[in-house]
């Protein structure tokens, strides 16, 4: 069994907007006059090709999600993207993490579309169920007060529709459907794997643990992640009587790997800072509209942030993001060591955003990140043969080949006029080439 799963998460941002310091928010109020469809066409084409390439590189999964009216993530209809990815790939798992259930008038539409995707993909779909960020309720006109209740009722309706024969009647607090009888039903039995993201809420962790689903910690610090994972394991064991499997614990930790630590910092820094300072520039009254969370939950959040000295995303420096574990960047060895530490200290089983895109990264840099991650980091956490969780009969992916056969015996070098041998993979790095 592989020690760690690696999944690439794509938000498909639109980075051609003013810096965060010049706008109130990249969500809701940012004028859509900044959006140029011709530019977006090129971006979308590159974004989708990046995800398709993940199968060839040997990642375990590719993930998309749902956001509305913002430049941070422009996937409004994630099931459309998942359909495209299902058509362009053969074996890799495809996660919709996820459909924002309370924003849908009829949750059965989600149940039907995920079932269709699961069938057409050959049973490769991961279904993420999310409430949607508070900002989505401004964008959709939905009442945030009923958000949590609508979410759990919609979730329960979808699960029953997938696992029990129809037709049956559903009469709930928020949904009243006389005929629940979805055609088709998912290929995977009893249903596709369910992932639920969270930021450490006790209520969310408890509900996920009770249902034995996978919990995905979104972008938080090492301290918060460690606390959340410990709570999840404690609730699973003490309240529900089982030990969670490693793949029930996933963490979103944007990761960039390059030839050296310094090169990784140099390449990653501007795109990380766009992500946190501009893409995630969102005032609290947009992020947490009145009623989105209960008073007690809000109070716990505020006190917890104050006690831990937590800053807003857009106030963090690049060094703080690294030191506090919001992101990982470095040479292959540095990245391996940091993932090893998370396995040992947190029990991490799934790395989300582990290589691939972030923020304003250009296409070439995304592809470079994917390739180095696949060939020099992933094999360290794989069984001999290097197969991802979806397996292949023949090792054709970069990660499989690197894990099976190792690195080439010799490194290409060029002998310079002064007699020095310069390794060509490092020749474009100033401090190496010029030394």
pLDDT of residue 398: 83
Least confident residue range of 91-100, 139-148, 190-199, 272-281:
139-148
pLDDT digits (tens, 9 = 90+) for 134-153: 899 988 888 889 999 999 99
Asked if residue 423 belongs to a domain, the reply is no
pLDDT of residue 175: 96
Provide, rounded to the nearest whole percent, the portion of the chain with pLDDT above 90.
77
Residue 86 has pLDDT above 60, yes or no: yes
Mean pLDDT of 244-252: 97
Mean pLDDT of 319-338: 97
Asked if residue 388 belongs to a domain, the reply is yes
CATH number for 109: 3.20.20.30
Neighbours of 392 (CB within 10 A): 16
Spatial separation of the C-alpha atoms in residues 254 and 321, rounded to whole Å: 10
pLDDT digits (tens, 9 = 90+) for 354-365: 999 999 999 999
Mean pLDDT of 324-330: 97
Phi, psi of 150 (to 5 degrees): -65, -40
Asked if residue 384 belongs to a domain, the reply is yes
Domain count along the chain:
1
Residue 275 has pLDDT above 80, yes or no: yes
Mean pLDDT of 23-50: 96
pLDDT of residue 397: 76
Mean pLDDT of 21-48: 96
List beta partners, residue 5: 350
Provide, rounded to the nearest whole percent, the portion of the chain with pLDDT above 70.
95
pLDDT of residue 31: 97
Confidence of residue 115 (pLDDT cuts 50, 70, 90): very high
Least confident residue range of 93-102, 210-219, 420-429:
420-429
- CA 28-12-301 angle, to 5 degrees, is 55
Mean pLDDT of the chain: 92
Confidence of residue 308 (pLDDT cuts 50, 70, 90): low
Residue 298 has pLDDT above 70, yes or no: no
Containing domain of residue 172, as a range? 5-408
Mean pLDDT of 2-27: 95
DSSP β-ladder status, 421-423 and 413-415: antiparallel
Residues 24-54, buried b or exposed e (16+ Cβ, 10 A)? ebbbbebeeeeeeeeeeeebbebbbebbbbb
Confidence of residue 433 (pLDDT cuts 50, 70, 90): confident
pLDDT of residue 123: 93
Whose tokens are 């020690």? That residue is 3
Asked if residue 309 belongs to a domain, the reply is yes
Give the N- to C-terminal CA distance of the chain in Å, as an integer: 43
Asked if residue 430 belongs to a domain, the reply is no
Side-chain-side CA neighbours of residue 172 (13 Å):
19
pLDDT digits (tens, 9 = 90+) for 383-426: 888 889 887 555 567 887 788 888 888 889 999 999 999 999 88
Residues 319-356, buried b or exposed e (16+ Cβ, 10 A)? eebbebbbbbbbbbebbbebbeebbeebbbbbbbbbbb
pLDDT of residue 310: 72
Asked if residue 429 belongs to a domain, the reply is no
Asked if residue 295 belongs to a domain, the reply is yes
Residue 39 has pLDDT above 70, yes or no: yes
Asked if residue 148 belongs to a domain, the reply is yes
Helix crossing, 78-88 with 37-57: angle to 10°?
Answer: 50
Residue 353 has pLDDT above 80, yes or no: yes
pLDDT of residue 372: 97
pLDDT of residue 94: 97
Neighbours of 250 (CB within 10 A): 26
pLDDT of residue 430: 85
Cis upstream peptide for 167 (omega within 30°): yes
pLDDT of residue 302: 65
């Amino acid at each position: 069994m592989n020690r760690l799963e690696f999944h690439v998460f794509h938000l498909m941002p639109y980075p051609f907007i003013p810096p965060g310091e010049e706008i109130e928010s990249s969500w809701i109020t940012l004028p859509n006059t900044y959006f140029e469809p011709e530019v977006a066409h090129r971006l979308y084409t590159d974004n989708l090709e990046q995800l398709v390439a993940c199968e060839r590189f040997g990642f375990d999964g590719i993930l998309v999600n749902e956001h509305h009216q913002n430049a941070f993530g422009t996937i409004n209809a994630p099931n459309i993207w998942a359909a495209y990815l299902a058509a362009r790939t053969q074996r890799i798992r495809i996660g919709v993490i996820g459909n924002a259930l309370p924003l849908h008038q009829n949750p059965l539409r989600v149940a039907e579309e995920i079932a269709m995707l699961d069938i057409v993909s050959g049973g490769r779909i991961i279904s993420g169920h999310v409430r949607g960020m508070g900002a989505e309720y401004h964008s959709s006109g939905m009442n945030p007060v009923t958000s949590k209740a609508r979410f759990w009722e919609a979730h329960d309706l979808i699960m029953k529709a997938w696992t029990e024969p129809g037709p049956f009647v559903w009469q709930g607090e928020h949904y009243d459907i006389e005929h629940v009888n979805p055609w088709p039903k998912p290929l995977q039995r009893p249903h596709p794997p369910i992932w639920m993201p969270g930021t450490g809420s006790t209520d969310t962790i408890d509900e996920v643990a009770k249902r034995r689903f996978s919990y995905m910690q979104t972008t938080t610090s090492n301290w918060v992640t460690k606390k959340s994972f410990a709570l999840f394991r404690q609730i699973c064991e003490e309240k529900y009587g089982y030990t969670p499997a490693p793949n029930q614990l996933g963490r979103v930790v944007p990761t960039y790997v390059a030839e050296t630590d310094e090169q990784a910092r140099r390449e990653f820094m501007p795109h990380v800072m766009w992500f946190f300072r501009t893409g995630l520039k969102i005032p609290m009254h947009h992020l947490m509209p009145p009623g989105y969370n209960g008073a007690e939950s809000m109070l716990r959040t505020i006190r917890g942030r104050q006690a831990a000295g937590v800053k807003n995303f857009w106030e963090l420096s690049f060094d703080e993001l690294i030191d506090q574990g919001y992101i990982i960047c470095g040479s292959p060895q540095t990245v391996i060591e940091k993932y090893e530490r998370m396995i040992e200290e947190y029990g991490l089983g799934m790395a989300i955003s582990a290589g691939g895109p972030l923020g304003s990264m250009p296409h070439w840099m995304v592809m470079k990140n994917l390739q180095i991650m696949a060939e020099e980091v992933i094999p360290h956490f794989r069984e001999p043969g290097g197969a991802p969780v979806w397996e292949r009969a023949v090792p054709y992916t970069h990660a499989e080949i690197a894990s099976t056969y190792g690195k080439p015996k010799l490194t290409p070098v060029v002998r310079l006029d002064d007699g020095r041998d310069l390794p060509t993979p490092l020749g474009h790095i100033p401090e190496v080439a010029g030394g």
